[in-house]
Amino acid sequence: MKLYERDKIDFGNLLYPTKAMFALLIPIVVEQFLNSFMGMMDTMMVSNVGSEAISAVSLVDSINNLIIQIFAAMASGAAIICSQYLGSGKREISNKAAKQVVLTVLVISLSLTLLGLSLRKPLLRLIFGQIEEGVMAQAQIYFLVTVLSYPFLALFSAGAAFFRAGGNSKFPMKVSVASNFINIFGNAFLIFGLHMGVAGAALATLISRIFSAVVIFSFLRKPAQAIVVREYLSIRPDMPLIWKILAIGIPSGVENGMFQFGKLAIQSTVSTMGTQAIAAQAMANIMESVNGIAGVGVGIGLMTMVGQAIGAGRREEAKYYIVKCTQLGLAGILVSCLFVLGICKPVTWLAGMEPVSAQLCFEMVAAITVAKPLFWAFSFIPAYGMRAAGDVRFSMITSTVTMWCLRVALCVFLVKAFHMGPMAVWYGMFADWAVRGVVFFFRFRSGRWMKQGVI
């Protein structure tokens, strides 16, 4: 089955030949892996404080992950816009667009921070309902501190996207690695040294995110970068350009947001199953994020490749990158799933999880190891490439429909009708992946995803 026209591609003059492709992708995969691995270590440290602590962190992080996905969507919009301008040789417009992205994410993140601070208690009660009082008390502490990190997280996400759009993925990786080590050592000192519990975990996160934002924007000022952002006080809103950025960012944000809203709906269902189920689901979520890192990293890098190829008018080359990266992502997911399955039991033991929670977590990870290599790459990686060409609305609609009609609805049905435990979450997710993969395959084959204008 022919997915792209080889005779229309100049393989001797690719924007990203194999060596350059791996030079772009490997640092992103390493960065994403370390982020998730450090997140797993973070969870292990908090779990040693007790089941209430890990449950509180898990519940609040389901909100924080929604915010992270909003910022990731804005960063995706930045990467797509800037990479297409760079591909078409319009560097000055790319720099101008980057400044508008900075202004936009700063306004949005500050607004979310103020909203989170003012509505902290009623928001947690609304989402999680009548959970145990000990869990709620620690959740409020953790949320209070982490909400202060939103502006710094947003700025780092945007700044890292600028570097990747220019083909430099190594520097964001280095900053992220340093930030994660600050977070881990901060956790060790504040949780175990000063016995600050969840407050210490939140404070370590805040400090690491401040560090990331400061460093990334310090280097974006240098004129040698592909995209340069400086003279911040002179930035004024350019509404036509902002709307163009939002036209990419908003559908991506809605799509990512729907995933997190779906997770919140599922989390609310799991939260009624007791502390042991919450703890098992929290650790399974962390491990699932680790075993998907290779695929996510490849997808993020794919956006730069496709964005530059579309900007340069090389459509068949853009198709080639999508097919190639889907293959690479599939291989990476298979290896990482087997790795995570191998470390699952040692990790749950080191985390001090209760035996019932640890066994439940292992059962969920085993099921993920079977299903994820079969379905995940086809349902996610091509979509990264098609979004980079501007096809964001179709991806948003497809992902939203499959999320609510399969992942959430099937989970709730299995829990309510068959009284199934947290494994219901994963059955719904597997169905979502399978259907979405089929839909995106036919969308890619049709070629309609290349007809959406961006710049």
Task: Give pLDDT, residue 338.
Answer: 94
Question: How many domains in the chain?
Answer: 1
DSSP label of 233: G
Report if residue 261 sits inside a domain: yes
Task: Give pLDDT, residue 372.
Answer: 95
User: Tens digit of pLDDT for each residue in 179-205?
Assistant: 988 988 888 888 788 877 777 888 888
Task: Give pLDDT, residue 70.
Answer: 78
Task: Give pLDDT, residue 184.
Answer: 85
Axis crossing angle, helix 198-220 with helix 170-187, rounded to the nearest 10: 160
Q: How confident is the model at residue 272 (pLDDT cuts 50, 70, 90)?
A: low
| Nearest of 34, 71, 275 to residue 154 by alpha carbon | 71
Q: Tell me how many degrees the CA angle 268-269-273 measures, rounded to the nearest 5.
A: 110
Task: Give pLDDT, residue 200.
Answer: 83
Q: Tell me how many degrees the CA angle 448-451-455 measures, rounded to the nearest 5.
A: 150
Q: Considering only 159-163, 256-260, 321-325, 362-366, which range has the smallest mean pLDDT? A: 256-260
- 403 token code pair: 């999320």
Report if residue 6 sits inside a domain: no
Q: How confident is the model at residue 138 (pLDDT cuts 50, 70, 90)?
A: confident
As a whole number, the mean pLDDT across the chain is 84
- 207 token code pair: 């400090």
SS3 category, 453: coil
- 368 token code pair: 């993920």
Which amino acid appears at position 81 of this protein? I
Task: Give pLDDT, residue 134.
Answer: 66
Q: Tell me how many degrees the CA angle 97-103-106 measures, rounded to the nearest 5.
A: 135
pLDDT > 90: percent of the chain: 28
User: Tens digit of pLDDT for each residue in 52-102?
Assistant: 666 667 677 777 777 777 787 778 777 788 888 888 888 888 888 888 888
pLDDT > 70? residue 351: yes
| Nearest of 65, 33, 42 to residue 292 by alpha carbon | 33
Report if residue 5 sits inside a domain: no
Which residue shows structure tokens 């990686």? Answer: 381
Residue 22, number of CB atoms within 10 A of its CB? 14
Sequence-distant (6+) residues with CB within 8 A of 442 are none
Task: Give pLDDT, residue 26.
Answer: 92
Burial of 240 (0-12, 13-18, 19+ CB in 10 A): exposed
Which residue shows structure tokens 């936009």? Answer: 104
Report if residue 1 sits inside a domain: no
Report if residue 7 sits inside a domain: no
Report if residue 177 sits inside a domain: yes
Task: Give pLDDT, residue 130.
Answer: 65
Radius of gyration for the chain, computed over Cα atoms and rounded to the nearest angstrom? 21
Sequence-distant (6+) residues with CB within 8 A of 144 are 117, 120, 202
User: Tens digit of pLDDT for each residue in 289-322?
Assistant: 888 888 988 998 998 899 889 988 899 999 999 9
Please tell me which residue, 95 or 123, carries the higher pLDDT value.
95
Query: What's the domain range around 17?
Result: 13-451
Q: Considering only 36-45, 222-231, 246-255, which range has the smallest mean pLDDT? A: 36-45
pLDDT > 70? residue 131: no
Task: Give pLDDT, residue 329.
Answer: 93
pLDDT > 80? residue 418: yes
Q: Tell me how many degrees the CA angle 164-169-174 measures, rounded to the nearest 5.
A: 130
